[in-house]
Every structure is written in C-alpha cells, then in structure tokens.
Chain A
Amino acid sequence: MKKYSVVGHSVPQIDANEKARGVAEFVSDLQLAGMLYGKILRSPHPHARILHIDPSKARRLKGVKAIVTAEDTPQIPFGPRTEDWNIFAVEKVRFIGDEVAGVAAVDEDTAEEALDLIRVEYEELASVFDPIEAMQPGAVLIHDKERNIVSEFKLNKGDVDRAFQECDVVHSERYYTNQVYQAYLEPMACVAHFDPTGKLTLYLATQIPSMTRITYAKALGLPLEKIRVVVPYYGGAFGAKMETNLHLAAAVLSQKTGKPIRMVNSREEDFMAGNPRVPMYIDLKVGAKKDGTLVGKEVKIIGGSGARAIYSMAIVATACYRVDSLYRFEHLRTEGITVYTNTVPTSCFRGFGNAQMTFALESSLDMIAGHLNMDPAELRIRNGLKTGEVSIHGWQIGSSGLEECVQKAVEASGWEEKRRKKRFSRGIGLACCNHVSGNRAFSREFDGGAGIVRIGREGKVLVYHGESDMGQGQRTVFAQIVAEELGVALDRIEVAPVDTDISPFGLGSFATRGTVFGGNGVKAAAQDAKRQILEVAAEIFETIPSELEAKEGKIYVKEEPERNLSFEKVAEICLLRRGGSPIVGTGFWVPDTVLPDPVTKYGNVAPAYPFACQIAEVEVDTETGHVNVLHYTAAHDVGRAINPQATEGQIHGGVTQGIGWALMEDMVVEKGKVLNPDFRDYVMPGPLDIPPIKSILVEPIDPNGPFGAKGIGEPALNPSPAAVANAIYDAIGVRFTELPITPEKILKKLGSALDIGHLHRKKF
C-alpha cells in the first residue's frame, strides 16, 4: 500500500483546539447586533382544522416585536421531494408539533410568554397514527392522497416463487424497526437576517447548505440570488439536520422585523418536530440452497412518513433494495409503501433505510445459517459481493473488503472458540452490511463534488467546499488531502466555513458521501493550484513545471534539490508577479455513476461502496432481562482511512448508536404525542453502557475514492442492531424481531420459553 506524508496518518481534528477551549462558535452561540429571539407556536392536536388565530393579546405583550402566521408567508407549498410543506400550517394542522405561528421578542422568555397568549381555535379531526391503519380504505385523509399513500416502490427480478420452491430452506419473518431520535447534543438552531437590501443570510446547522438554499428560495418566493447560507460549527446531525421549518420561521420573522432572529429548538420541540427515523414493518422471506447459496428474496415494507413525506419514500426504497448489492440474490420481489400518519414527520437517520433492512436481513440470515448448520460467517463470505462484481441492480463494486472484514472480525473476536464453548445466557452474534458513498438516485440533477483552494501572499492555504462538517471531522480530511497534494504541512491549511456566496455548490453531507465527493473535489482544486504555483516556480528556476517537485513545504528542481524555495516564498512571488492575485485553484470531480432506470432501477448509484462486519458478544441476565454488551468488534472496509483516528471515532459512535437502538432507544408515541421527549425518559447509551469497541480498518484502496478512500458514517451503525440481536439469540435461543430489545421483552419471552421447556434454566 502506497504511503503518503499526511494522508493516512492519525491527526487531531484541525478545529479540536477551539472546541476544547469552548471558543468555537456554534449556531446557538451566534449573537448579531440587534438580534431578536424567535419561538414557534406548535399544534397541540394531531389533526385539526384551524378556525381562527387571534394574536392580539400576545401582540400587546411588552417586548414582543412580531407575530407571524401562514398569512405572512407566500403560502407556496414546497418540500425537498413532495410539496406537502407549508412554513406555517394552512387550514389544517397534521401532527402535534406542527408549526402554527412564530413570535419574535427581545428575549426567549418573552417570546415563550407570548406563545401562551396567542388564541387558536381548532376543530379536532379524526387522526391515524399507524401506517398500516392509515392505508386502510376509509381511513381519514391527512393530505389529499388516496389511502394516505405517499408512494409505492416495486421491483421484481427473476422468478421468486419458483426460486423458493427450489430452495432447501426458506425463512419468513415480520420485523418491526421503531422510531428513534438522532439526539445530537445541540438542538436544531439558526440565525436568519434579512438585510436592508432584501438579501437573506441564513446561518444554519444544516448538512445540505446548497440544497436548503434552493428549497427555501421556493418556500419564501425569493430569487435564489437573494439567499445566502452560511454554516458555522454545529453540534451533530446524524441525518436529521436537512430542511426544517425552524429556519423558515426565523426567515419570515426577520423579514417582518428587519432584525436578525435566532431560533433554537428546546429539547422537547426537537423531539416532537425534528426528523426521527422512519419506522418500518418489514415482511421478509429469504430462500437458500443447502450449501448456503442465497437465491431469492421477497420483501414488503410499510414505512410511516409521519405528517410530511420529506425523504421517507427514498428511505423506504433504499430499505427495499440496497442489500441486493451486498449478497448475490438472483430472484427478487419487492414492494415498499410509504404512508402518511398524524405523527412527527420522519426522515434521515444514519443508515437511510439500509439500517432498518440490515437488521431484518441479517437476523434472517442468522436463522438460515442455523437451519443449515452452517457458520454464519461462512454464509456471508459465500454470498458477499467481491471486487469487480456487478450487482443485480448494476452497481459496479470497484472494491469490496467484505470477506476480509468478516475474516478479521472473526479472528479478533475469538468467534470460533466462543461458539464452540457455548454456555447459556452468553452469546456471540455477527452481522454484515454494505452501503454507498454518495447516491446518484438521491440527486437526479447531477452528481459530483467541487473545491476551491486559495493560496495567499503568506502561503496560507484556504480551502472552500460545499459539503458540511457536523462534527465527523470532514474539514480535517479535506485539509489532509490538500496538504498532501500541495506538499505542505497540515498546519498551513485552513478550511473555510461553507458560505454559498463563495463556496462551490455541494450536494452536502449525507449518504456517506463527504469524503469521496468533497475529498475528490478539493483534491482536484489543489491540483489546479499546484499547477499554477509550479508554473511560476518554473519561471523562477528557468525550467519546466514537470522538472519540479513540491514536498515538505518546499518547491525544488527534482534533479538538483539544492535549488529550492519555500512554498511561502513562491506563493509570494506568484502574487507579486500576477498583479496581486492570489493563487485560486478550482477543481471538480464527476464520477461515472449511472442514474437508475425508473422502472428496473438498473444503474450504478455510487462511485464506491463500503462494507462491514461487526460482532457483538453479550451476557443476558435471565433474572432482570438486562443485556450487557461485553465485547464488540467492528471491521470496516473504508477503502483507505485518510485519518485513521477519526475513522475509528466514527465507528465507535456508530456502533454506540446502534447498540442504543438495539437495546434501549425508543420514541414512545401515544395518540401522536411523544411521551418521552427528554433525555431522562428517552434512554440512550452513556459511558457505562458500551464496552471498549475493537475497530479494524480494512483498506482495499478503492479505484474512485480520493487516495482510495470510501465513506464510513452510516455503515458504522448499519449492522449493530442485528449483531446484538443475533448475539442475544445465541445466548438464550430467543429471536427478537422488534427493536428495541428491552428487558421487559426479554423477560416476557424468556418466561414463555422457560415454561415450555425449550431452554435449560441457569443454575444459581
């Protein structure tokens, strides 16, 4: 494997110092001159007609500067996929938390007090909360969509019925993956400022700065050029921080008052009106031959989108068919239905549907391996896609480290020995996953990444990109790539915050795409900057650029290294010879991905595909039902780790969220109301719930990733719930098909299992 001087080396995040000292300014820390504070009046009803809104009493409260409702907006329906959004509710509210009105005041307390004084008359309507009930004929309609169906996804290949007949084992199961909350530590936040020229600057915590700008321009009825999006530091996202009405409410209030408006969700609001994970019913049937060859897969998914579709239909589609490029299924029948309900709109959360389906598929494969008396690891290796293969949907696997992931995880976890020395209540379980780095199907308009690299007089390099660092360490990876290309030390590089007035257009940080797309974009820009600086250096040394080398902060003649100048000196000469112009390198990268056919879905959605294998070892306390995760091994094909320390950090974080989902996390929703909208009742992993995680980086060097890198964000979580569920099955012989697997569920199942004598009770 080729070695580099900056790429491939563990470095702290380039902004870790500011974050450690508490001086990094997050969105909720921003303070602009004359700034007011906004709050949203939210619907207390899951479904109701708005008869009348009377803000007069609230308006008279001292310190209140503006109150806005749908009447103060252009009332243009909008949305990232389906136009079922309004900035504030028009005629109807559709979930508890739906935005009804906005208040701007001199401080947050006053704004909250004003919310209580706004009188709203509602006529309550029938509501429906479960997607299966919502799609029954006669169910109340939430939007004007027949049977509340947002969309249906269908995909059939081969002859699945015949294939099942010819299988030696066919396993059928219904799974349910619940609604979980991303729980980033900084709630959703923004500052909006309409300046006197009519230009709106939005300081947003968003993963998709350029895309929100387009969606918001439409919602506000503004030309695109009147909107500027800036992305300061923000405290995590995990898929949730895309479009949100919070940003638009702030924009409308700023337009009304002429003042900057800061809006920050309370934690409760963030639970009730954020974008939690799409819950899914998954009916899965998988057939295999007795040698373990997987043959057919039939799946029917019903996903609940909540009261707005957002990206839920794409998430359900992903759940339907992404795993077909993990294993070699030849026969498929697939149906995915996305359904409105009167609950909080659901959307992206690390894994984008693939996490839901991976739980189901990897649980079923565990059962099939059991039926066939086959090592579950062997079953995965036998069926897993290898480097150079093209999947049934046309996905070109440029590199696959799946087999190596399985082998290394098996070895590091002591899999074989632990399976041999079985004892009741202790178990070990394995699960794999694939994913994408980028998703051609998600953004139909184009695919690609771009960067700008500016070198100033002092030789300081400033990198601009259009993606979004939510804390994962993207800025650092981009800085490492540019430092490597320019042959300078990492501390010469600064990465600018995304500002749509300056930065390139970027699709943003989702689909595990940042490293591959943004990385290739800034790499191309750095190469362009290097070409320019070498041209000037060639004039100085009276040679041609190809005779020069840029390395270790110096530019020198290859054959005569003593003829050299510092990078800074050449940058200065460059600027002085070029009328004061800094070097500005621009570059872009367009992968040869293929937009999937609308009917057959045949295409090639990503330039690179990551793979993983994770192994959990658990101890189940049969008295309390508590599951203790004892050991955890996670082997990930990351192509090449640009920053191994950060890559491991992503794995640790993803596994932890996955264990949380498997064992404890659950949004308890009753009649559309979230009953546990706080961190006391929404339990997620603390430091004592997670064992040390052994992370293994598998680096097959991808042909398309920058320096061979692929993404890591989502695959870090995808297999974890199944690995834990499979370990629990190994421990106590009970298969859990619904998440989370709580002590109550375990005791209930264990009780019945013990009663019918299937298991030997532990002796005390």
Chain B
Amino acid sequence: MKYPLKLSVNGVLFELEIPANRTLLDVLRNELGLKGTKEGCGAGECGACTVLLDDEPVNSCLVLALQADGRRITTIEGLSGAGKLHPVHEAFIHHGAIQCGFCTPGMILSAKVLLDRHPNPTEREIREGLVGNLCRCTGYQKIVEAVSSLVNRKD
C-alpha cells in the first residue's frame, strides 16, 4: 500500500507515492537521488544522516517519510546554491575539518543550525552543539576550529 507524499526539498516540491515504512533518509537517497545525506548507523546514533526539517536538525533515518509530509527539508545539497559555497562549507574546507568526509554533510548542517541560533558560542557550546554527530577521523578539533572561525560573522 502506497501513500501520497509531498515534500519541499531544497526549495523544490516533490510529489511521490511511497509505502508507510520508508524513512525520510531512504526517500531522500533512493527516490530523490540526494546521496549527500549519509547512512552511518540507521539508528539515530551517529548523525551522518542529519537534515533540516523545517529548520530543525533531525536524524532522517529516524523520521518516517510520511511524517515529513507537507514540510520543508534542507539537505547538504541545498546549502550550496548554484555552486556557491555556504560560509560553513568554506570554514570546514579551509580549516582541514574534513577527512574521509562521510560525517561531513551532517556535521555541516548541525554546525549551521548551531550558528544560526547562537551566533556567538563558546568552544564548549560548539562541542555541545555538535554532540549528536560522530566523527571518527578528525578528533573534532579542526571541526571546532572551523565553527569557531565563524563566530560573530557578519553575513
């Protein structure tokens, strides 16, 4: 049995028909081809599948696609419009905060939300803000440095 689903993803409206048990992660990756959202654990523990649901960061592996019906989703692909990088992208690249890159899309989205809500976080607050995203390569240090570099930016 399939159900109708309307999603606004990165500003584009999609109308789909999907079974009730499909996760948002599955639909983004396999129906819409948005492979920037990664699956690291499938259980909401690693944060690699983080997307923004109406500007709220969620583990898309824990959200049923139908729960997102009629709502607005931003994935990593939506953060770089027309090839232009978002400042969080630039900071991650510049500071060497990316190694294997598998946690990166989720980490960047969490960092963006953190900075949108708290433009002036302390180092401790940055670490707290990223606590839902695991990284096994970087030891977090250069990620924290990248986010710190954006504190109080004026754009």
Contacts and interface: CB of A to CB of B under 8 A. Distances in A.
A26 B38 contact: yes
Interface string A213-256: 00000000000000000000111101000000000000000000
A24 B38 CA distance: 11
Given A235-B101, A684-B134, A17 B85 contact: yes
A544 B101 CA distance: 46
A579 to B, nearest CB: 38
A655 interface: yes
Given A12-B96, A15-B101, A22-B75, A679 B134 contact: yes
A471 B101 contact: yes
B40 interface: yes
A184 B136 contact: yes
Interface stretch (A315-323, A364-372, A686-694): A686-694
B93 A646 contact: no
Q: Top 5 closest A-B pairs, CB basis?
A: A22-B36, A471-B100, A19-B101, A235-B102, A652-B139
Interface residues of B, number: 55
A31 B32 CA distance: 13
A10 B145 CA distance: 15
- Most central of B46, B100, B134 by chain A CB within 10 Å: B100
B150 interface: no
24 contacts: A17-B85, A19-B100, A20-B93, A109-B21, A182-B136, A185-B102, A185-B134, A234-B100, A235-B38, A235-B100, A235-B101, A236-B102, A471-B99, A471-B100, A649-B96, A649-B99, A649-B139, A651-B139, A652-B142, A653-B139, A656-B140, A678-B43, A680-B43, A692-B144
Contact of B93 (A10, A17, A187, A648): A17
B93 A26 contact: no
A23 interface: yes
Contacts of B79: 21
B27 to A, nearest CB: 13
A692 B141 contact: yes
B60 interface: no
A690 B139 contact: yes
A24 B101 contact: yes
B141 to A, nearest CB: 4
Contact of A186 (B102, B128, B144): B102
Contact of B134 (A16, A17, A472, A686): A686
A500 interface: no
Interface of A: 10, 12-13, 15-26, 28-29, 31, 109, 182-187, 233-236, 238, 266-267, 470-473, 645-646, 648-649, 651-657, 678-680, 684-688, 690, 692-693
Interface in B1-56: 21, 29, 33-43, 45-46, 48
Contacts of B29: 29
B37 A13 contact: no
A544 B85 CA distance: 46
Contacts of A653: 99, 136-139
A294 B128 CA distance: 45
Given A22-B77, A186-B40, A12 B35 contact: no
Given A17-B89, A235-B38, A649-B142, 13 more contacts: A16-B93, A19-B100, A19-B104, A21-B79, A22-B75, A183-B136, A185-B136, A267-B42, A267-B43, A649-B138, A652-B141, A656-B139, A690-B140
A629 to B, nearest CB: 12
Contacts of A648: 96, 141-142
B143 interface: yes
Contact of B39 (A13, A24, A28, A470): A28
Nearest to A682: B45
Contact of A652 (B21, B37, B40, B138): B138
A688 B96 contact: no
A233 B137 CA distance: 14
A684 B131 contact: no
Given A267-B43, A679-B41, A687-B127, A19 B136 contact: no
Contacts of B128: 687-688
Nearest to A187: B40
A688 B125 CA distance: 10
B130 interface: yes
Contacts of B101: 15-16, 18-20, 24, 26, 233, 235, 471
A687 B143 contact: yes
B131 A25 contact: no
A688 B102 contact: no
A286 B28 CA distance: 58
A25 B35 contact: yes
A21 B104 CA distance: 9
A455 to B, nearest CB: 27
B98 A687 contact: no
Interface in B87-145: 89, 92-96, 98-105, 108, 123, 126-128, 130-131, 133-144
A649 B140 CA distance: 9
Contacts of A646: 96
A512 to B, nearest CB: 16
B89 A21 contact: yes
B149 interface: no
A50 B12 CA distance: 53
Given A653-B136, A657-B136, A23 B100 contact: no
B49 to A, nearest CB: 11
Nearest to B48: A185
Contacts of A25: 35
Given A185-B100, A233-B101, A21 B45 contact: no
B76 interface: yes
Nearest to B37: A22
A19 B98 contact: yes
A91 to B, nearest CB: 33
A235 to B, nearest CB: 3
B152 interface: no
B80 interface: yes
A652 B143 CA distance: 11
B80 to A, nearest CB: 5
A759 to B, nearest CB: 31
Contacts of B38: 26, 28, 185-186, 235
Given A15-B101, A267-B43, A22 B96 contact: no
B140 A20 contact: no
Nearest to B126: A687
Given A12-B94, A21-B76, A679-B46, A185 B40 contact: yes
Nearest to B19: A109
Contacts of A238: 136
Interface string B53-83: 0000000000000000000000111011000
Contact of A688 (B37, B98, B131, B136): B131
B96 A21 contact: no
Contacts of B141: 648, 652, 690, 692-693
